[in-house]
């Protein structure tokens, strides 16, 4: 599978003809395209699914594209956003970029240019997401996690088997130790594209980590959830 086949794009455009043209062309390039025709649909889709890129029209029914972008950023979602606007004013452009857009195209635009920019934004984002510090084992508080074997040796000496997702989540949290890892990032990295479990699922993983690794699971020192934002491992 090429990167393009895997990339998932949210296309937000209310003009039906333009929407269909863009969708068709993006699909011809190998992207998977999800459609939204107004601001509310766009917000809902961005919350329910992981996207590699959002193409966002500015003038939309319900909520305008710049407000939608701002809203997505307020939820700590770092998805790249490419704004499409009919207004050719410098001010509008600056506002879009200030509110969190990554790039900007003025309508009418050249289709080739759009596809090039889409490609660039997706590749740039993937490079950041793939930043990976590979290590095989990690020790804390006399717990030893063996990521390759998917096992952990607990401080009492017992060895437990970890599921693949438990191993991936532990690795992600530990690689980003002392920082909050957003829910979106966890869903993207551990659960992959398309299928999102509900928030409870991650909470249950965190509860298990506390049971395995914490001296007192009700007074955790290592595994925390940060309400409304994400999760954190503290060294
Ligand atoms: Ca429009």
CATH of domain 3-129: 3.40.50.2300
pTM (predicted TM-score): 0.61
Mean pLDDT of the chain, nearest integer = 88
44 C-alpha to ligand 1 centroid (Å): 18
Range 63-79 average pLDDT: 89
62 C-alpha to ligand 1 centroid (Å): 11
17 C-alpha to ligand 1 centroid (Å): 11
Residue of higher predicted confidence among 96 and 66: 66
Annotated domain spans of the chain: 3-129, 137-233
Residue 194: both structure tokens together: 């398309």
Q: How confident is the model at residue 235 (pLDDT cuts 50, 70, 90)?
A: confident
**Residues with a beta carbon under 5 angstroms from ion ligand 1:** 14, 57, 59
Taking the C-alpha atoms of residue 188 and residue 165, their distance in angstroms, rounded to an integer, is 12
Q: How confident is the model at residue 11 (pLDDT cuts 50, 70, 90)?
A: very high
What residues are paired with 181 via a beta bridge? 231
59 C-alpha to ligand 1 centroid (Å): 4
| Same fold flag, 3-129 and 137-233 | no
Task: Kindly report the number of other CB atoms within 10 A of residue 7's CB atom.
Answer: 24
pLDDT at 233 over 90: yes
Of 2-11, 165-174, 203-212, 219-228, the poorest mean pLDDT is in: 2-11
pLDDT at 223 over 90: yes
Contact between residue 38 and residue 147 where contact means Cβ atoms under 8 Å apart:
no
120 C-alpha to ligand 1 centroid (Å): 24
Q: Classify domain 137-233 at the CATH class level.
A: mainly alpha
Polymer length in residues for the chain: 235
30 C-alpha to ligand 1 centroid (Å): 25
């Amino acid at each position: 599978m090429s990167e393009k086949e895997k990339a998932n794009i949210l296309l937000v455009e209310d003009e039906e003809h333009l929407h269909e043209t863009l969708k068709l062309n993006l699909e011809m390039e190998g992207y998977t395209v999800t459609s939204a025709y107004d601001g509310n649909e766009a917000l809902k889709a961005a919350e329910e699914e992981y996207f590699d890129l959002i193409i966002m029209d500015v003038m939309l029914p319900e909520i305008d594209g710049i407000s939608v972008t701002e809203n997505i950023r307020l939820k700590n979602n770092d998805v790249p956003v490419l704004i499409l606007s009919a207004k050719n004013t410098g001010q509008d452009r600056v506002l879009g970029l200030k509110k969190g857009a990554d790039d900007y195209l003025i309508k009418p635009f050249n289709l080739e240019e759009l596809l090039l920019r889409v490609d660039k934004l997706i590749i740039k984002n993937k490079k950041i997401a793939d930043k990976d510090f590979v290590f095989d084992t990690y020790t804390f508080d006399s717990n030893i996690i063996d990521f390759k074997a998917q096992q952990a040796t607990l401080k009492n000496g017992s060895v437990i088997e970890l599921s693949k997702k438990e191993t991936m989540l532990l690795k992600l949290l530990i690689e980003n130790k002392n920082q909050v890892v957003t829910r979106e990032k966890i869903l993207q990295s551990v659960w992959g594209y398309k299928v999102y479990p509900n928030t409870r699922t991650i909470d249950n993983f965190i509860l298990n980590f506390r049971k395995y690794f914490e001296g007192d699971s009700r007074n955790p020192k290592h595994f925390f959830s940060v309400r409304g934002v994400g999760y954190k491992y503290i060294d």
